[in-house]
């Protein structure tokens, strides 16, 4: 394959994969959200971020983490969508560092990504809501959202490993 053609195919696959997983993330986040008494909401949309990151790497995880959750926030009118960009972008990038490793390492990367997401919101919430509500939100974000989403994602990643379409997309993405 000539190098220009390979890069073009990689870009097209990157856009397709990020777009698909971002739409899935936004849909899962929007449709399966539970409002929180401390503000914001809990959801399982992070599972799609984790699956994309684990299967396709940190840059796909970053793209999905930036677009999908922020799109959902804009749909529901969540006022701090700009925090979501940082929190879920970090989450997706860190989770993607587990790509190509065993399932235990991928789960560990997902958990680290979820911790980064949760702590990002915590830092903002301490300032906006005070420490008690920020701690309650941190517990909800990590135990109610991250752990559930990681469990779902781990099952999906395990099932999708070896799928010829996933492997072909990953090959076309190359280092993405």
Give 7's pLDDT tier (boundaries 50, 70, 90): low
Tell me the CATH number at 36: 1.10.1760.20
- Identify the H or E element spanning 25: helix 3-31
| 92-103 pLDDT tens trace | 999 999 999 999
| Full domain range(s) for residue 22 | 3-173
Residue 161: closest CA among 106, 119, 94, 122: 106
Q: How confident is the prediction for the chain on average, in pLDDT?
A: 92
Write down the pLDDT at residue 9.
76
The number of distinct structural domains making up the chain is: 1
| 24-67 pLDDT tens trace | 999 999 998 888 877 778 899 999 999 999 999 999 999 999 99
For the segment 159-176, the average pLDDT, to the nearest whole number, is 87
Q: What is the Cβ-side half-sphere exposure of residue 175, based on CA atoms within 13 angstroms?
A: 1
Handedness of CA 121, 34, 60, 70 (dihedral sign): negative
Write down the pLDDT at residue 8.
72
The two counts, helices (H) then strands (E), for the chain are 8, 2
pTM of the entire predicted model: 0.92
């Amino acid at each position: 394959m000539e190098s220009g053609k390979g890069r073009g195919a990689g870009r097209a696959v990157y856009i397709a994969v990020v777009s698909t997983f971002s739409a899935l993330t936004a849909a899962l986040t929007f449709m399966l959200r539970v409002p929180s008494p401390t503000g914001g909401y809990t959801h399982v949309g992070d599972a799609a971020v984790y699956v994309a990151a684990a299967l396709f790497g940190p840059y796909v995880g970053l793209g999905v983490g930036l677009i999908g959750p922020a799109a959902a926030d804009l749909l529901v009118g969540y006022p701090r969508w700009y925090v979501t960009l940082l929190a879920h972008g970090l989450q997706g990038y860190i989770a993607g560092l587990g790509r190509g490793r065993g399932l235990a390492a991928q789960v560990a990367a997902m958990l680290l990504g979820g911790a980064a997401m949760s702590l990002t919101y915590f830092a903002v919430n301490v300032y906006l809501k005070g420490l008690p509500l920020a701690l309650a939100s941190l517990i909800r974000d990590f135990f109610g959202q991250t752990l559930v989403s990681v469990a779902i994602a781990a099952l999906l990643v395990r099932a999708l490993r070896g799928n010829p379409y996933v492997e072909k997309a990953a090959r076309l993405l190359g280092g993405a």
